[in-house]
Amino acid sequence: MPEFDTSHVKNIVLLGHAGSGKTTLAESMLFEAGIITRRGSIAERNTTGDYHELEQERGNSIFSKLLHTRWRGFKINIIDTPGYDDFNGEVISALRVADTGVMLLNSVMGVEVGTDIIWEYTEQFKTPMIFAVNKLDDDNADFEKTVREAKAHFGSNVVVVQYPRQSGSGFHEIIDVLRMTMYKFTDHGGKPEKMPIPDDEKAKADQLHKELIESVASNDESLMEKYFDKGELDEDEMKAGLKKAMIAHDLFPLFCLSAERNMGSGRLMGFIDNVCPSANEMVPQVSTTGEKVNCDANGPACIFIYKTISEPHVGELSFFKVYSGTIKSGMELENESTSVTEKITQLFLVEGNKRTTVNELVAGDIGATLKLKNTHVNNTLHAKGKSYELPPIIFPKSNMTVAIETLKKGEEEKLSQALHQLREEDPTFRVEVSSELKQTLIHCQGDMHLAVAKWKIEHQHKVEVKFVKPRIAYRETIRKMADASYRHKKQSGGAGQFGEVYMQVEPWFEGMPEPKDLNVRGRETFDLEWGGKLVFYNCIVGGAIDARFLPSILKGVMEKMHNGPLTGSYARDIRVSVYDGKMHPVDSNDISFKITGLQAFRQAFQQADPQILEPILKVEVLCPDDLTGAVMGDLQSRRAIVEGIDSEGHFQKIIAKVPQAEMDGYSSSLRSITQGRAKFNMSFLAYEPVPFDLQRKLIDEYTKTSKEEFA
């Protein structure tokens, strides 16, 4: 029998901007429950959560961690998440399997931009939420301001359950308006003394108690009737109403904390046990085919993999949530995505970097297992005979791209293996081997994300690498009509080579009329894989060139479009008309006309007012109002065109068009300008002409490089 049944397992995720105290709170919760005998600290680099060498070196969380406590007959699974937006994939995957979120607010800083971004994720998942105002023992703490900002940002459904009698260095008393009790702590925190609410706080506590009751009752008609009848709700009725409203994502209770001094963590855990929903009280998961997956320990086995990590000398550790059934060691489950059967050889409870073997885990619980060879993040494993596939986690797009190279030749294969492993562990880390740019590209979330990747490659995989600026995928086109001809003649004894082609090129645009003064005999339209079109016309009359040579001419044209005349970039949006030429009955062949077509196209292209196009990105920056000017100034220095400024909550959203070539290093620049108080995202928008002086520079650079290569 499992130690805890489904109803007695609670899954929470600790959320908040960097520095809000999530890891410290997790440490206090473990200490309060007796899981650890001494609380570690960030400064001493000995917390249970931040055990990774890199986290201890940097002083902040980088990876999400699974922890657990036992508290008054309940098991609480805790997922501690990083606070920087560079690691948002860790936050999203944790939210996918948590049943309640605890959002920490720094009472010194109030609601920060990172908090707003994380809140958007909780809205997507409709996660039941608790707010916890932390660091109330700081001299600059401002509880009232933090609550006002929380209500302004997240709505009036943020409802105060606790408030501090005094914040700052004298903080040691919390007034609870749900239980109408005051908790008084010693300077060392821990278990508080329960006391009556002092007379000088009674009016305030009564008012907040009334507001709490009204908020709870307004979300439940039966409770509203009881409230009208009695003028009051008892504690059990309020707890039931709170749970219902939290599940509906309609009410967000707010608590007080000093995680560092262990004040308030025990009461928070008590609320999680008594009020927060278990997995079987949440809306059932629905498979991709629309079938409900009820969280029932007696149902068919079904687990979802939300995270994997690779451990030296051990292998891959897969973290999962049990959505249905009871999972036992030795059980065989089928991977719905790959149809491969996986054997669950071992089951673990996880406490940071410590693992405890267990024999079974019930529906609603979270655990880990080793060596699932053909199973990855987002995979569903289920009992044979079922066909469950749970919806995948949708990870965010990248905000930064760099090229990566090895410092030593011959280590490319080792680098490839390292990048594959990074991608397995972190779906927000994307690798692209670009044949166009002849570079291996890394797409990631920002500078810190990139720094973590470099550390792993060099320390875990022993490959020295460097990051270089990625080349830009320019495009080439033309702006006017031009004619050219080319004769290819080669004689070297025996059969020679001969071909002659007359060609007209024009800029192509949608709906353009058919060629004038040419006898169109055939037309082919090609949607180019790199964007744009090539339209190829056969306008040959009188059999000047056999139709069998037209595909060879086209092949030559296409080859040059793969390697444009100006910078070697792809060419696009061109109409080619072959209208005359000559052939030889013996010496003409396919290779002759391929060469002829390529050279004629190259000459015509150069005479048709050629134009280089550059990729333009749509960039959206979210920042506080007082930083708008600095952010706009930096964007304009990057050839940006600011298209508008919108309000989004209490932040300004700057929308701009920026050339991709100017966005290199933007992540670190924005962080420096705003002290980390702004976030951005970008996406491809269009190709637009580069300025004349830049076009000249790009052509000169390409010409110089080409001469060096062939010297």
Element (H, E) at 645: strand 641-648
The answer to which of 100-104, 361-365, 382-386 has the lowest mean pLDDT is 382-386
Distances (CA, A) of 642 to 135, 636, 646, 677, 688: 39, 8, 12, 20, 16
Tokens read off for 386: 């079922």
User: Using H for helix, E for strand and C for coil, what is the string for 540-554?
Assistant: CCCCCCCHHHHHHHH
* Mean pLDDT over the full length of the chain: 93
pLDDT above 70 as % of the chain: 99
Among candidate residues 258, 130, 134, 265, the one with its CA nearest the CA of residue 191: 265
CATH topology classification for 476-608: Ribosomal Protein S5; domain 2 (3.30.230)
Strands 193-195 and 181-184: antiparallel
Q: Maximum Cα–Cα distance for the chain, whole Å?
A: 114
Strand (E) or helix (H) holding 439: strand 439-444
CA distances from 16 to 114, 158, 177, 494 (A): 7, 16, 24, 79
pLDDT at residue 711, as a whole number: 46
Strands (E), 168-266: 173-176, 181-184, 193-195, 252-256
CATH of 6-281, one of 3.30.70.260, 3.40.50.1820, 3.40.930.10, 3.40.50.300: 3.40.50.300
With 90 as the cut, is the pLDDT of residue 208 above it?
yes
Query: 647, 654 in Cβ contact below 8 A?
Result: no
Which tokens is 700 given? 């000169």
- Looking at the chain, which residues constitute the CATH 3.30.70.870 domain(s)? 404-468
Residues of the chain with CATH 3.40.50.300: 6-281
- Answer whether residue 602 shows pLDDT above 60: yes
Query: CATH topology for 613-693?
Result: Alpha-Beta Plaits (3.30.70)
Range with the poorest average pLDDT among 27-31, 184-188, 227-231, 477-481: 227-231
**Per-residue CA distances from 706 to 188, 475, 512, 653 (Å):** 71, 18, 36, 43
Average of pLDDT values for 688-711? Answer: 84
Could you tell me if 82 and 108 are in contact, meaning their C-beta atoms sit under 8 angstroms apart?
A: no
404-468: CATH topology: Alpha-Beta Plaits (3.30.70)
Q: What is the pLDDT of residue 476?
A: 97
Question: Is-contact 624 651, C-beta < 8 A?
Answer: yes
Q: pLDDT of 247-304, one tens digit each?
A: 999 999 999 999 999 999 999 999 999 999 999 999 999 999 999 999 999 999 999 9
Secondary structure of residue 425 in the 3-state scheme: helix
Q: What is the pLDDT of residues 63-81, one digit of tens each?
A: 999 999 999 999 999 999 9
The answer on pLDDT for 587 being more than 50 is yes
Q: What is the pLDDT of residues 303-312, one digit of tens each?
A: 999 999 987 7
Q: Is the pLDDT of residue 184 over 80?
A: yes
CA distances from 337 to 286, 323, 559 (A): 16, 17, 39
Looking at residue 708, what is its pLDDT?
61
Q: At what angle do helices 447-459 and 666-674 cross, to 10 degrees?
A: 120
Residue range(s) occupied by CATH 3.30.70.240 in the chain:
613-693
In this model, does residue 243 exceed pLDDT 70? yes
CATH 3.30.230.10 domain range(s) in the chain: 476-608
Please give the distance of CA 128 from its chain centroid, rounded to a whole number. 22
Mean pLDDT, rounded, for 422-426? 94
Q: Which one, of 601, 513, 519, lies nearest residue 555 by Cα?
A: 601
Tens digits of per-residue pLDDT, 369-394?
998 989 999 999 999 988 889 999 99
Q: Look at residues 525, 526, 527, 567 and name the one whose alpha carbon lies nearest to residue 690.
A: 567
Pairing of strands 610-623, 475-478: antiparallel
649 or 570: whose pLDDT is higher?
A: 570
Residues in the chain: 711
Q: How confident is the model at residue 1 (pLDDT cuts 50, 70, 90)?
A: low
What's the CA gap between 560 and 701, in Å, rounded?
Answer: 19
CATH, domain 294-382, list 1.10.3080.10, 2.40.30.10, 3.40.50.300, 3.40.50.2300:
2.40.30.10
pLDDT band at 597 (very low <50, low <70, confident <90, very high): very high
- Tokens 């990876």 found at: 63
**Alpha-carbon distance 291 to 294, whole Å?**
9
pTM of the predicted structure, to 2 decimals: 0.88
Q: What pLDDT, on the 0 to 100 scale, is given for residue 187?
A: 87
Position 28 pLDDT exceeds 70? yes
Kindly report, residue by residue over 442-475, the tens digit of the pLDDT: 999 988 999 999 999 999 999 999 999 999 999 9
Q: Quickly list H helices, 303-440.
A: 412-425
